[in-house]
Amino acid sequence: MATKGKKREKIPDWVQYMQACSPALKIFKRANGGYMLRDTSRPLEVLSIHAELQTNRNYCFNPYYHAITKKENIPTPPWVPLLPGHYVIGKFGSLYVRLEIQSNNKEHLIYCWKIYKNMEITQLIHWEANSDFFVSMRKYIKQSGEISIPDILGLRDPSIIHDLQSKVNSIYPNLFNANAINSQNKINKLTTAMQKKGKKLLEKASAISHPPIIYHGIEIKEPGMHLSPEATLALAVEYEALKKSEDSSRKRIKRAKTNNEYIKNLKYKLHEEKDQELLNNWIRKTLEETNIRSTIF
């Protein structure tokens, strides 16, 4: 009896048409099941802002997208470079969208997007070029449901991530090694944690109506402390060292408590065994003295 093979999914007509017109367009399937095309003929450009793994609240100076993905075949935490020359085409409803990352005098990033009415890409409806990571495009389309810009750009696809990282690595070697990534992840986590702590501290201080407000010898007031980047780094290192020491002490205390309970239980068990041994010896001695044989032993 012949078994039926898995039915092959049909690639949409617009995808096949565009690739037929331009073989440099490579087909990718997005996480939500949709399709996109990426132009692999365009050279990718690495800027000086890509020299360090960083994210910035100012979109145009934000050289990386810190992706979140569960793909097991990505070897390192996916810091995805946003490189000029990255160019994709997607579809939303009946609209065709072209998105391209460009640069302004090789200093910061520009996000250019164009909306077309037809798959021949001849009837342009609207276009913009700005530094908002395509947020304006998402607002323009106004499609029901959430539109993920990273998904549209393919920034969660393992092969695209590898391609973009490889290009950066050819200019800045070892940028994506484990030590550098772990360090940057720790800095980002620490920055977020300290910002939350600072906000809570100021909220707590604002509830007190009698200044000056002093915590551990430090006056709490706006706008806070003015520290140089070097001083901030030194403070962060000292904070992490103290935190690590505190965590280590907490673990030692926990182990000591566990060991103490174990010793107590062991002593109790030894006492029980000793008492049983004394009882057995007493019974044996008694039996021997009375010449009574027993099957107890």
User: In the chain, which ranges are E strands?
Assistant: 25-29, 35-39, 64-66, 79-81, 87-92, 95-104, 108-116, 124-130, 214-215, 218-219
Residue 4 above 60 pLDDT? no
Does some domain include residue 231? no
Is residue 117 in some structural domain? yes
Do residues 31 and 95 share a domain? yes
Give residue-wise pLDDT tens across range 106-154.
Answer: 888 999 999 999 999 999 999 999 988 888 888 888 765 667 888 888 8
Same domain for 156 and 169? yes
* Domain assignment present for 99: yes
Q: Are residues 208 and 169 in the same domain?
A: no
Burial 29-38 (b: 16+ CB within 10 A, else e): ebeeeebbbb
Domain for residue 257, yes or no?
no
What domain count does the chain have?
Answer: 2
Name the residue among 215, 224, 185, 204 with its Cα closest to residue 68: 185
pLDDT exceeding 70 applies to what percent of the chain?
A: 73
Element (H, E) at 18: helix 13-21
Residues 108 and 52 grouped into a single domain: yes
pLDDT higher than threshold 90 for residue 240: no
In a domain, 39, yes or no: yes
* Average pLDDT of the chain to the nearest whole number: 78
> Mean per-residue pLDDT for 223-243?
74
Residue 156 and residue 72 in one domain:
yes
Task: Examine residue 2 and state whether it is found in any structural domain, yes or no.
Answer: no
Select from 196, 215, 234 the last residue of a domain: 215
> What is the reported pTM?
0.60
Query: Tell me, what amino acid is at 144?
Result: S
Q: Are residues 134 and 22 in the same domain?
A: yes
Q: What is the pLDDT of residues 170-196, one digit of tens each?
A: 999 878 776 766 676 777 777 777 777
Cα separation, 283 vs 247, in Å, equals 54
Do 99 and 153 form a contact (C-beta atoms < 8 A)?
yes
Task: Identify whether residues 142 and 170 lie together within a single domain.
Answer: yes
Domain with 191, as residue range(s), is: 179-215
The larger pLDDT score, comparing residue 150 to residue 46, is at 46
Residue 240 domain flag: no
Query: So what's the pLDDT on residue 115?
Result: 93
Strand partners, 129: 112
More confident residue, 183 or 53: 53
The length of the chain in residues reads: 297
- Which of 215, 237, 269 terminates a domain? The answer is 215
Q: 170 and 57 in one domain?
A: yes
pLDDT at 294: 47
User: Is there a single domain that holds both residue 170 and residue 183?
Assistant: no
Q: Are residues 73 and 135 in the same domain?
A: yes
Give yes or no: residues 50 and 91 share one domain.
yes
Q: Using the 3D structure, point to which of 159, 174, 189 is the last residue of a domain.
A: 174
The residue among 240 and 15 whose pLDDT is bigger is 15
Burial (CB count within 10 angstroms: exposed 0-12, middle 13-18, buried 19+), residue 19 = middle
Looking at the fold, whether 128 and 93 belong to one and the same domain comes out as: yes
Average pLDDT on 205-221 reads 72
- Convert the pLDDT of each residue in 60-114 to its tens digit: 668 998 765 555 455 445 789 999 999 999 988 888 999 999 998 888 899 999 9
Q: How confident is the model at residue 291 (pLDDT cuts 50, 70, 90)?
A: low
Residue 30 inside a domain? The answer is: yes
